[in-house]
Amino acid sequence: RLATAPSGEKAEEMQSVATEGKGEGTRGQAKATEAPKKEKKETSYAKAEKKIKSPMDMGKLKASVAQARILAFINDVSKQIHGLVLSEMSAKDAPEPLQKLCASLEEMRQWMKDIPPIKQPMRYGNKAYRTWHQKLTEKAKDMVAPILGDDLQQKGGLDEVLPYFLGSFGNPTRIDYGTGHELNFLAFLCCLSHMGRIDVTTHGRYIALVAFNRYMSVMRQLQTLYWLEPAGSKGVWGLDDYNFLPLLWGAAQHACPRGTKPTSPLQATTPAAIHTSDAKSLEKDSMYFTAVAFVCSVKTGPLAEHSPILNDISGVPSWNKVHSGLVKMCVTRYFSVFRGQTTTTTTLIRTTPKITRNHPEITRKITRKITRKITR
C-alpha cells in the first residue's frame, strides 16, 4: 500500500498536512498526542489446573507460552549473575518478597529438627517426611500470602501460585524428589516475576544466588535427612538424580558475556577445576561446585564412575560452552519428560498460547527461535 501513489482529494489532503508540518510542528503530531491511550487490561488469576495428563499432551507444552516464558526467565537470570559469588550475596539486600520467601524456607528447615526421621528397615523414603510435608500443606497459605501482598491476594493470585509452591518440595506419597519438583519452584519464581513482585532484570542475582540457593540448601538437607527417593533417576547416565538448575546457573556464574574477558576469580577457573584442590574452596562461592560436591557426598566411588556425564563436562574447554550445552539440555530435562503428578498450569504459565492457539507450527518456530537466542 505504501508503494501506491495517492490520488484526488486524498493526495491534496496529504500534501496540505505535509506543508503544515514544516516549522514548529505538524497536525499529525498534534493528533497523535491527543489520541486516547489504550487502557491496559488488568490481569485476572485462576486456580491452577492440570493440563498435562498424559504423554500425548507433552506436545502442547513444547509449543506453548509456558516453555517460552520459563526459558526466557532462566536466560534473563543467567545474564545477571556472570562473575558473582555466593558468599557476597545477602538476603538482607534482596527485594522484600524474596526476603519473606527466604524466611519461610528457614522456617521449613526448623521443622526438620522438630520432626526427626523414624527408625525403619528401609534406607530410602523415611516416613517421617510425610509428617513434615503435612505441616507444609497446613502452613503454605500463610507463607505465600505475605510474599504476594494484599492486592494480589484479593485478585486471586494466591490460588494460582500456591500449587507451584506446594509442588516444589517433593511428593509425600512416593517420598521422592526430582527435577519436576525443582521445575515447580522455578515456575513459582517465574510467576512472581510476571505478577510484578520481582523484576528479573534488576533482581536476577537475588533470584538465583539468594532465593534459589536457599531453596537448594533446604532441599539437600531434606533429602539427606529423610533420604527421599530420586524421582525419575537415570542412574549413571543422568546429570544429577535430584537437580539440574544449580548446574546451569552455576555455569552462568563462571561464564563471561560474549566479547569480554574474565573479571572475577570464578570466571578465571576452568571446568576441569572440579578435579583439583581448588574445588573445595570454590564450593562456598559457586552453585556448580556446590552441586558437584553434593553429588559426590551421596554417592560412593570416583566421579567418573558414578557420574560420567558430569565428569565428561569437566573436559569442556570453557564455561560458556558448558552453559550453552546445559541450556540445550534444559529443554530435554524439563519439557520432554512426562511428570504425571508434578505438572500444573495457570494463566501465568499456560500450555496453550492465546495468539497462536490454532497454529502449532508457528509456536514450534517461536520456541526454536527462543532456544537458539538463549544458546548464543
Helix (H, G, I), strand (E, B) or coil at 176: strand
Neighbouring C-beta atoms of residue 137, cutoff 10 Å: 11
Instruction: Give the helix/strand (H/E) hosting 250.
Output: helix 245-254
298: in domain: yes
Give the pLDDT confidence score for residue 204 in this predicted structure: 95
Q: Is residue 43 in a domain? A: no
Model confidence at 334, pLDDT cuts 50, 70, 90, reads: confident
Q: Does residue 86 lie in a domain region? A: yes
**Cell numbers that stand for 172 in this block:** 509425600
C-alpha 275/C-alpha 270 separation (Å) is 10
Q: Which residues, other chains included, contact 307 with Cβ-Cβ below 8 Å and sequence gap of 6+?
A: 236, 239, 240, 295, 296, 299
**Is residue 209 assigned to a domain?**
yes
| Higher local confidence (pLDDT), 10 or 225 | 225
- How many degrees, rounded to 5, is the angle at CA 294 between CA 289 and CA 298? 150
Q: Alpha-carbon distance 269 to 278, whole Å?
A: 9
CATH number of residue 331's parent domain: 1.20.120.1150
Please report which confidence band the pLDDT of residue 352 belongs to, taking 50, 70 and 90 as the band edges.
very low
- Answer yes or no: is 12 within a domain: no
Range 66-83 average pLDDT: 93
Read off the pLDDT band of 329 (50, 70, 90). Answer: confident
What pLDDT is attached to residue 355? 37
**Position 358 confidence tier, pLDDT thresholds 50, 70, 90:** very low
Q: What confidence score (pLDDT) does residue 277 get?
A: 87
**303 falls within a domain:** yes
Backbone angles phi, psi at 275, to 5 degrees: -100, 0
Q: What is the pLDDT of residues 205-244, one digit of tens each?
A: 999 999 999 999 999 999 999 999 888 666 666 677 788 9
Q: Is the pLDDT confidence value at 362 over 60?
A: no
User: Residues 85-137: pLDDT tens digits?
Assistant: 999 999 999 999 999 999 999 999 999 999 999 998 887 889 999 999 999 99
Question: Residue 21: is its pLDDT beyond 60?
Answer: no
Decide if 9 is inside a domain: no
Pairing of strands 229-230, 176-177: parallel
Residue 44 lies in a domain: no
The count of structural domains within the chain is 1
Strands (E), the chain: 176-177, 229-230
DSSP at 261: -
Reference 346, options 35, 1, 49; nearest CA is: 49
Helices 128-148 and 96-114 cross at an angle (nearest 10°) of 160
**Domain span including residue 297:** 52-351
C-alpha 338/C-alpha 268 separation (Å) is 39
